[in-house]
Amino acid sequence: MTRSPLRVPHPLALLTGCVLLAAAASWLLPAGQFERRFDEATGRTLVVPGTYQAVEPAPVNLFEAMVALPKGMADASAVIFLVFLIGGALTVVDESGALRRAMPALVRAMRGRDLLIVPVVSLFFAMGGVVQNMQEEIIPLIPVLLLLVGRLGFTPTVAVAMSAGSAFVGSAFSPINPFQVQIAQRAAEVEPLSGSLFRIVFLIAALVVWIGATMRYAATTRTAAQGAALEVGESAMTPRDGVILTLLGSTFAVMVVGLRFWAWDFDQMSAAFFIMGVIVGLVARMGVGGTAEAYVKGFREMAYAALLIGFARAISTVLEEGLVIDTIVSGLFAPLEDLPRVASALGMIVGQALLHVPVPSVSGQAVLTMPVLVPLADLLGLSRQVIVLAYQYGAGLCDIVTPTNGALLAILAAAGVRYDQWMRFAAPLYLVLVLLGAVSVAAAIAVGLQ
């Protein structure tokens, strides 16, 4: 077997290197800040446009950069605990045996049409992205997906593409995602959910591109021997399994409703899944001790993923402490003032993508950039809806490939897929989707989308 010419460092080493690069930027770039104000309507602190000015440098030394690692873990604590508690709950479900008995039943039901499992699973995760920006919630589901793709003879890359890839595409093209488009629309003072029909058209096109490519990759890389070895020593599903799977599905449904209508956050989701895991343990007759042991096993398996999320968060922590994040924002978007309208809008996509590497939080990036881009759009005669689209396609799609996305690296680690392996599959599709986003922005300008 020939070794790949591209060998990406271990994810922890990669993220640590990015933290060190952020610290170096605090020495090399001029320090500067925008003024900020608290917005009562959104409950968020927004940048005041046109107020960027140089400030006293605050370079981050090596030790301070390392201190940012535990700070990043603390800043991401809600997300990390979500990963732990969902991971523990799903491990209880797995230990019950319900999923392992359900997988053969699903494969048998789709026999002869089992490639259709790819779009079915992909659409589930895509809707998770559309509705609530699903990312970290995917990590504990990877072992289940690996079990499924293994039975079908597909590679682990297919599991990541069906889950994370589909969710990221759904998030980026979503008309309703509260953590991306709705935050950006509020910050840009655009009517919430406006332009939804326009976005849905391009959402469908993007999912056709991504899911079609995933199906083609799954079919061409399939291992026939794995897909054939079914039903050997397998037990049939029991009524108790049906109850457990219903509890699992119901919890996901409650989570979506909670996020959409009850203002739930990560803490409420964590609690819901913890309760579900306890009930599943009782239904499966695992006992209190057996349920607790399953939770401990799940926590242990999720520890690495949690570390990656915290390390990724430390990057933006260093840039903020070094007072250079606003300098980066100003430097990326100020040159767009001298470009024609369409070129400026397309430049915003590029600028948002570049900024998303050091700022891997899509919601944080919306709050940071929208107030800067709104007056620029008004000056250029661009619709504010257009700059929201540019943000979605620039920042949202970048989640597919950026190595500073802790959730992506954690998902890849859980699936046993190297970053360079993922890039060989995802990078060409990412470029196609960015081109589709550029077409969407140009079309929005042409039709005067408001």
DSSP-assigned beta bridge partners for residue 47: 36
Say whether pLDDT at 234 is over 80.
no
Polymer length in residues for the chain = 450
- Pair of tokens at residue 15: 């993220």
**Candidate ranges 94-98, 152-156, 255-259; pick with highest mean pLDDT:** 152-156
Contacts of 227 (CB under 8 A, 6+ apart): 114, 151, 152, 153
Specify the range with the lowest mean pLDDT, choosing from 55-64, 263-272, 343-352, 439-448: 263-272
How far is residue 164 CA from its own chain's centroid? 7
Residue 7's pLDDT is 62
Residue 55, Cβ neighbours under 10 Å: how many?
13
Say whether pLDDT at 165 is over 60.
yes
- Pair of tokens at residue 246: 């219903």
CB 209 within 8 A of CB 429: yes
**Candidate ranges 172-181, 261-270, 368-377, 419-428; pick with highest mean pLDDT:** 419-428
Burial class from Cβ neighbours inside 10 Å (0-12, 13-18, 19+) for residue 314 reads buried
DSSP letters spanning 386-426: HHHHHHIIIIIHHTTT-TT-HHHHHHHHHHT--HHHHHHHH
Measured CA distances, 22 to 68, 353, 358, 401, 415 (Å): 11, 17, 8, 19, 28
- Pair of tokens at residue 214: 């995933």
- Report how far residue 398's alpha carbon sits from residue 234's, in angstroms, rounded to the nearest whole number: 42
Strands 53-54 and 32-33: antiparallel
Residue 148: band (very low, low, confident or very high) from pLDDT cuts 50, 70, 90 = confident
Burial class from Cβ neighbours inside 10 Å (0-12, 13-18, 19+) for residue 339 reads middle
Measured CA distances, 28 to 21, 112, 234, 299, 324 (Å): 10, 59, 61, 40, 9
Q: What angle do CA 111, 112, 113 make, to 5 degrees?
A: 90
DSSP letters spanning 206-233: HHHHHHHHHHHHHHHT--HHHHH--STT
Residue 201's pLDDT is 95
HSE value, Cβ hemisphere, 13 Å, CA-based, for 228: 3
Burial class from Cβ neighbours inside 10 Å (0-12, 13-18, 19+) for residue 67 reads middle
- Report how far residue 377's alpha carbon sits from residue 419's, in angstroms, rounded to the nearest whole number: 36
Say whether pLDDT at 229 is over 70.
no
DSSP state of 334: G
Average pLDDT over residues 44-64: 86
How far is residue 412 CA from its own chain's centroid? 12
Residue 429's pLDDT is 97
Average pLDDT over residues 199-220: 96
